[in-house]
Amino acid sequence: MDEVFAALADPTRRAVLQRLLDDGPATATALSPSFAMSRQAVVKHLGVLADAGLVTAERHGREVRYAGRAEPLVDAAAWLARTGAAWDRRLARLSRQLGPSAG
């Protein structure tokens, strides 16, 4: 999960992943004009996303088509929900201990 959060920390990678999830598979060449960067720069971002399991790469002849994968996001969202719920419980306990004037 660390790789997922590290990959998603970059706004460009989030945008690339969102594009692949919304529009379907694409090559780095097709993606690069949308992000005003070179094909090689897009490939580097796609590599980080692939290492985190957020994209897959499939070769078709000379082209490599990248597809977004939402499954790792489900695990990350579940972790965030569990962590948020734990903090909600802690804050509720603290509020009860401080009494009604604390809220």
pLDDT at 53: 96
- Both tokens assigned to 100: 């009604």
Read off the pLDDT band of 12 (50, 70, 90): very high
Decide if pLDDT at 58 tops 80. Answer: yes
Nearest to 44 by CA among 24, 28, 30: 28
pLDDT at 17: 97
In sequence order, what DSSP letters do the residues of 54-87 get, joined into one string?
SEEEEEETTEEEEEE--HHHHHHHHHHHHHHHHH
Nearest to 29 by CA among 10, 15, 42: 42
Question: For residues 7 and 45, is the Cβ–Cβ distance under 8 A?
Answer: no
Read off the pLDDT band of 102 (50, 70, 90): low
Q: Where are the domains of the chain?
A: 2-102
The answer to whether domain 2-102 has CATH 1.10.10.10 is yes
Decide if pLDDT at 26 tops 70. Answer: yes
pTM equals 0.78
